[in-house]
A = this chain, B = another copy of it.
Amino acid sequence: MTVLRGAGADVREDGVPRHAEIGTLELESGFRLPEVRLAYETWGVLAPDGSNAVLVEHALTGDTHVAAGRARPGAPEAQRRAAESGGWWDGLVGPGAAIDTDRYFVVCANIVGGCYGSTGPSTPAPAEVDPERRPWGSRFPLVTVRDSVHAEAALADALGIDAWRLVIGGSMGGARALEWAVTYPERVRACAVVAACAQSSAEQLAWGQAQNLAIRQDPDFRGGDYYDGPFPVTGLGLARRIAHITYRSADELHHRFGRTPQAEEQVIDTHPGGRGRYQVESYLDHQASKLAGRFDANSYLAVNETLMSHDVCRGRGTLEEALSVTSCEWLVAAVDSDRLYLPRESDVLAAALPGDVRRHTLTSPSGHDGFLIEAPQVGKLLVETVLARP
C-alpha cells in the first residue's frame, strides 16, 4: 500500500484515486469479510501534528471525488483530466473554500460495498472464498453503517490520523459521520450531520424496500450473480427513479415540468404503451440511465441495505444514552424542503446531543438534494460553527 503522507510528499497531488488494504473486516453480523480494500482520495497536506484532517463521507451512490484536484505532473492525461474534473461537493471543498484544502488535509473514502474502488459485490472474491475468484455477487454480506466506519478507522490508522478535525457528510454520509462520532468519540473533534438522522425511519425503510425490490425483481438480476450476463439495468433504473423523486420536491417538479409533454411527443394517444412522455417522465428516464451507466446494481443494494441498517442506538440504549459518549462540536443541518430526511428528524438528533446544539437550516427549493446543491450554504454554516477560526 502506498500512502501519500502529505507532509512528506514532494509534490502535492489532490483528488487522485488511491487504495488501502485494511485486511479482514469483522462485521456486526459476525461475518468476517476478508481482504478489504478501501479506495480514497485526498486533498491538501496533512499537518505534522496530524491535527488538520477532515473526513468527508459520501452519500448513497457517491464516489471519492468530492472536489476537483490535480494529478502529479507527468501523470497520464486521463488521470490528469479525472483529477481536474469537478467533484460532487465543489464549492464546499477546495482551495479557499470552507473546507479549505490549503489548510486542511481532506480524505474521502468509498464505502465498503460501493463500486468506486472499495471492496464490494463486483470485486473478485478472494481465493479462500472462491478459487475461481468470481465477483462476490450474492455472497457479499450486509455491511452496516457501523461496519463501514470501522473500515474507515483502519484507513485513518493507515494514514496516520489519530483524530479527525472534522467528519462531515450529507444524507447517508451524515449517517456515517454521526456513527463515527459515537463509535470513536476520541477520534472526532467536530462532526457535521447534514440532511441525515439518527436512525433510518419507517419512511426511509419503505422507500428502501421498494428500491431493493425494483432491482431484485429484474430477471437479469439472477439473485445477484449476473456478472457473466446482462446487467439488471432496468431494475436499477426504476430504483433510481423512485429514489430520485424522494430526493427532490413536488414543488420543484411542478415548476420545472408541470405536465408538459416532452418536445413533440403525443401524451394522449390511442395506446398507453405507445404514447409520448411527459417531461417529468423523460427527466426521470434520464436520471435512471445516468445511474445505470455509472453504478453497479449489487452495490446499489449493498449501500441501500447499509443505509437501512442505520441506527446509532442499536445496542446502545436510548438516543440520549447512545449520544452521551460524544464529546465533539456539532453542526446539525436540514434542508427545509427535504421530504425524505425531515427537518424534524434533525431536530430530534440535535435535541438528544449533549450540550446545547441547535438545528440549522439549508434553504432550498430542491428537497433532499439541496444538501449537494446548496454547498455554499453548508460551507457558511461550517465556518459559523465547527470550523470557526479563533
Contact = CB atoms under 8 A, between A and B. Distances in A.
Interface of A: 27-31, 138-142, 144, 199-203, 205-207, 209-210, 212-214, 216-219, 223-224, 234-235, 238, 241-242, 245, 250, 253-254, 256-259, 267-273, 275, 278-281, 284, 301-302, 305, 308-309, 311, 314, 339, 342
Given A218-B217, A269-B29, A202 B280 contact: yes
A213 B257 CA distance: 20
Given A270-B27, A309-B268, A234 B217 contact: yes
A245 to B, nearest CB: 5
A245 B29 contact: no
Nearest to A250: B203
A271 B140 CA distance: 7
| Residue of A28, A203, A219 ringed by the most chain B CB atoms within 10 A | A203
B141 A259 contact: no
A162 to B, nearest CB: 30
A245 B207 contact: yes
B29 A142 contact: no
A259 B198 CA distance: 12
A287 to B, nearest CB: 10
A98 to B, nearest CB: 31
Contact of A205 (B202, B224, B259, B339): B259
A259 B202 contact: yes
A164 B66 CA distance: 62
A327 to B, nearest CB: 27
A273 to B, nearest CB: 6
Contacts of A268: 28-29, 142, 144, 309, 314
A178 to B, nearest CB: 15
A232 to B, nearest CB: 10
A170 to B, nearest CB: 19
